[in-house]
Structure 1
Amino acid sequence: MSVQTRLPSQEPVLDVRSVYKRFGGVEALKGVSMSLYPGEVVALAGDNGAGKSTLIKTISGVHGPDGGEIRFGGEVVNFATPEAARAHGIETIYQDLALADNLSIGANIFLGREPMKRVFGFIPVLDRPAMAKAAKETMARLDFHVNRLDAPVGRFSGGQRQAVAIGRAIYWNARVLIMDEPTAALGVPEQRKVVSLIQNLKAQGRAIIFISHNLQDIFAVADRIVVLRRGSLAGERKIADTNPDEIVKLMVGG
């Protein structure tokens, strides 16, 4: 569901209201507000130091806000840890992806949450068939295909590794995905694959915060752009109503 077709009565899945964050004498966020609806991609744009990373870390439980509030599913939340945010359905995919290169797709999906079964009635062992089944079904939902699902993910291309990280998030029923520079350091074909994955997630009703310095990618996937500058909200635009030149001017204050 795009911003243009959103129902007027629909509530945002995520609503950030006048959030402040300070580190000593530095105000990293100065009353920033933004909303995010199901099936929508909102891009965060801004130069280095604009507050993008601080904002997503405040949303995802790495930092606690010093002022304002965050609402998730209509309720005020205060996540003490990233694990608490994930338990509510907010998954962050950082640029390093946090994948175990020596493990398969299934093992990465369940990393730290491995399913167990008992043999001889009492000996716990890894339920590898369940992990393989989950990998196959999850990757099929993303229209993702590799020759061997049991291959170590370290052998995969950059775009394929992004797909594994996204698959892990949606397997655990993420309602909001925060994607930090998902197309950085990828070639053009791989960038297109990631853009296709994001469009697939939108069609499934997932809500996505997309951080990128690449305006071409932003305009390819986002419904709205929220621009930050020096910790403040510099502007917000619908993709259909703006252009890259205007976004750059908002970023630099021109």
Structure 2
Amino acid sequence: MAATPLLELSGIDKSFGPVQVLHDVGLSAYAGEVTALVGDNGAGKSTLVKCVSGIYTIDAGTVSFDGRPVTIHSPRDAAELGIEVVYQDLALCDNLDIVQNMFLGREKVRGIVLDEPTMEQMAGDTLASLSVRTVKSLRQLVASLSGGQRQTVAIAKAVLWNSRVVILDEPTAALGVAQTAQVLELVRRLADSGLGVVLISHNMNDVFAVSDRIAALYLGRMAAQVKTSEVTHSQVVELITAGRSGTVGLPPERPDGNGNGNGVAVDITPGGDQ
């Protein structure tokens, strides 16, 4: 494992008018690892991802990529760095085939016409590199694909462009058991191939099945970032619902009722800051 995070957020604040959604949030994602980002509805997961992807501009804090500070003003900036996001709605067009979807907006051309052979070759190579065998033809319409196959195409589309960090928003939502297993295997293969993967999920079984680290958000604060092997299901649930589990998590409520102190999370990984 690399000592330096591939993607590192520090002190991220984000407000919408008088409502502060993110408070001094930090997050680290390492190459070759799956970092599960968990939290209850309204914890700030989607806002944090949109800050990373350039949809929202952060109010304060720093973003580092591959050890150097970067500024992300737009999704194009994020894509140029190698950050791709697969949202829950997948953003696929049912009336287009797999190749057309994977190159939508980034089509290869030869002169004034589309370079269909090159695009088909690149799409096939990408799916093969991910050991995807559930797709019969690259020219299948997306409308004819199952939920798991659609998720596979969306992930392959994200990694096609030399991405280095892939953020997956609830990739197994509404999938059956077999399809969920296929997608989780693909998520693990992404990390094993050297990418940094951030997995957003409410499913603790999925989180513990594929993640190397877990980052728990609670009411817009990072409660803890821990190694998956060092926590239990119940501890993670407590971090999600209360921001604290035993000695792990946000500082306890003060008698004056002002809440979680300065909102600094406790990192219990070896050598982590306390």
When normalised by structure 1's length, the TM-score is 0.93
CA RMSD, Structure 1 to Structure 2 (Å): 1.1
| CA deviation map 1:43-71 (0-9, x unaligned) | 11111110111111111101111111111
The residue correspondences of 1:51-200 to structure 2 (distance < 5 A) are 51-118=44-111, 124-145=112-133, 146-200=135-189
Choose which of 240, 262, 265 in structure 2 pairs with 1:251.
Answer: 240
CA contact (8 A) 2:33 2:192 kept: no
Q: Distance in 2 between matches of 1:170 and 1:235?
A: 28
| CA deviation map 1:21-78 (0-9, x unaligned) | 1111111100011111101111111111101111111111011111111111222122
CA contact (8 A) 1:20 1:28 kept: yes
When normalised by structure 2's length, the TM-score is 0.86
Match status 1:17 vs 2:10: yes
Q: Kindly, what percent of the aligned residue pairs are identical?
A: 46
Match of 2:264?
A: none
> Matched residue of 1:173: which SS?
coil
Unaligned runs of 5+ in 2: 245-274
Off by >3 Å, runs of 4+ in structure 1: none
| CA deviation map 1:226-245 (0-9, x unaligned) | 11111011122211111110
Q: Distance in 1 between matches of 2:29 and 2:202?
A: 20
The one-letter code of the counterpart of 2:163 is: A
Higher relative contact order (CA 8 A, sep 6+): 1
The one-letter code of the counterpart of 2:118 is: A
The one-letter code of the counterpart of 2:127 is: M
| CA deviation map 1:183-218 (0-9, x unaligned) | 000001010000000111111001011001101000
Q: Distance in 2 between matches of 1:203 and 1:233?
A: 26
The one-letter code of the counterpart of 1:149 is: L
| CA deviation map 1:134-166 (0-9, x unaligned) | 121111011112221111111111111111111
Match of 1:208?
A: 197
- Alpha-carbon distance, 1:180 to partner: 0.3
Q: Distance in 2 between matches of 1:11 and 1:236?
A: 15
- Alpha-carbon distance, 1:109 to partner: 1.4
Q: Distance in 1 between matches of 2:206 and 2:198?
A: 13
